[in-house]
Amino acid sequence: MTQVWARAACSHPALSGVSRTHLGDLIEELGPKWETRRESALLERRGGRRRRAAGAGRKGKLVFVDRLLVTLVHLRLGLPHAALAKLYRVDRSTVSAAVRQVRPLLAARGFAVPDRPGIRLRILEDVFAYADAEGVELRIDGTEVQVRRPKAGRPGRKAFVSGKKKQNTIKTTTA
Residues 87-111 pLDDT 10s: 888 999 999 999 999 988 988 887 7
105 and 129 belong to one structural domain? no
Q: Which of 92-101, 105-114, 126-135, 143-152 has the lowest mean pLDDT?
A: 143-152
Q: Rounded to an integer, what distance in angstroms lies between the CA atom of residue 64 and that of residue 72?
A: 12
**The pTM of the whole model exceeds 0.85:** no
147, pLDDT greater than 80: no
CA distances from 144 to 104, 125, 163 (A): 21, 22, 11
Q: Which of 6-20, 63-77, 83-97 has the lowest mean pLDDT?
A: 6-20
Find the domain containing 131 and state its range: 111-138
Confidence band for 173, pLDDT divided at 50, 70 and 90: low
51 and 85 belong to one structural domain? yes
49 and 68 belong to one structural domain? yes
